[in-house]
Amino acid sequence: MTVLVTGGTGYIGSHTVVALIEAGYTPIIVDNLVNSKIETLDKIETITGMKPKFYEKNLINIADIEEIFKTEKIDAVIHFAALKAVGESVEKPLAYYSNNLIGSLNLLQVMKRNHVNQFVFSSSATVYGSPKTNPILEDFPLSTTNPYGATKLMIEDILRDMCKADTHLNVAILRYFNPVGAHKSGLIGEAPHGIPNNLVPYITKVATGELACLNVFGTDYETHDGTGIRDYIHVIDLAAGHLKALEKLKSQPGLLTYNLGTGTGYSVLDLVKAFEKVNGVKIPYELAARRPGDIAKSYANAEKAKSELGWHAKYGIDDMCEDSWRWEKNKSGN
C-alpha cells in the first residue's frame, strides 16, 4: 500500500514515515522544507534501511500536486503539512489561513479527481477551544482560541461535509494533544527553525546553553501550580496511532474521529522538574505573563482510540524527556 505523507520530513511526519516503512507500507513524502530539513531522509534510511521517495513541493501549487498523483499510484494520504505554532498564528493569521486552508483544499481536490479515498488528517486538541471540563471527549463542543486551531477546525468541517456528500470517501480525523519526545535512535526529532515555539524544544535548548532560560507563560491559571496543564504524548505513540487509523479505515470506512493523548495532564513546571530529574540537568526559568490564545488546561480522554483502534500510549513523561534530550545532544553535538 502506497501512502502519500504530506509534511513527511517534519517532526510527526518523519516518525510516521518510519512507522509506515517498518509496518510494510510504501510511503512517498511531499514537503516544502519550510519547517524541516532534507537530511531527514538520510536519517530515515539509516533507521529503516529504506529511503522514501521525496518530492519538494508546496501544496499551495495545485499543479505540483497533480503531477505527483499522475506520476505515482497512491492508495492513501496522511496529511501533516501545515504551519503549526499557536503564538505565531495569532501574530500572522493571514499566513496560517492561506497556507493551511488552501493547501488542504488543493490536496483534497486532487485526491477526488484521482479517486483516492483514504485520508488521515492531522488535527489538534485546539479544536476544543477552552473546554469547560477535563478530560476531553471527542463529542465535546468545538471552538477555537487562535487562528491555528481555527484552520484545523475549518478543515475538519470541510471533511465532514465531504463525507456526507461522498460515501466513497473514508476519513480519520486524529486530534493530537501535545507531541513531544524523539526516536529512540536519537536520529530524528523536533527541530524547529529559530527560537522554538513549543515547550520541550525550548527546554532542550536551555539545557544545552543555547538559550539562557525558559520563559514560563502564565502563572495564574487555576491549576495546582498556576502554570498551564497539557497532555504530552510521545511522538512514537502518535505515529503508531496513524497506522492504526489507516487499518481501521479498511474495516470501518466512513468518517472516524479520535483523540490521541495519554489521558494525563502535566503542568509546565511538572515537565521542567521531570526533565531535570531524568536527565540530571538544571533548567533555569523565568515567570512571564500569559500568551494570547493559550488556555489553562487540556488533557484527553483517549478511551475511544483504545477501544476502537486498539491503540494506547505506551510511553510516559520520563521517556519523553529522556528521548528529547538524547535527540538534542545528538543534534547539537554535545
Catalytic (active-site) positions: 148
Q: What are the phi and psi torsion angles at 267 (to 5°)?
A: -80, 170
Q: What share of the chain is helix, strand, coil (3-state, %, to 5)?
A: 45, 20, 40
In angstroms, the CA 63 to CA 265 distance is 43
What is the C-alpha to C-alpha distance for residues 159 and 170, in angstroms, rounded to an integer?
Answer: 10
Q: Residue 25 and residue 3: Cα distance in Å, rounded?
A: 7
Q: How far apart are CA 59 and CA 63, in angstroms?
A: 9
Cell of 31: 514537503
CA distance 125 to 176: 6
Query: Which secondary structure element, helix H or strand E, spans residue 55, and what is its range?
Result: strand 53-56
Dmax (CA) for the chain in angstroms is 55
Contact criterion met (CB below 8 Å) for 142 and 127: yes
**CA distances, 253 to each of 9, 169, 256 (Å):** 28, 8, 8
**Cis-peptide, bond into residue 292, ω within 30° of zero:** no
Quick one: residue 94, left, alpha or beta (phi over 0 = left, psi -120 to 50 = alpha)? Answer: alpha
Query: Across-strand partners of 78?
Result: 5, 120
CB 31 within 8 A of CB 54: yes
| Residue-level length of the chain | 334
Report d(CA 93, CA 148) in Å as an integer.
8
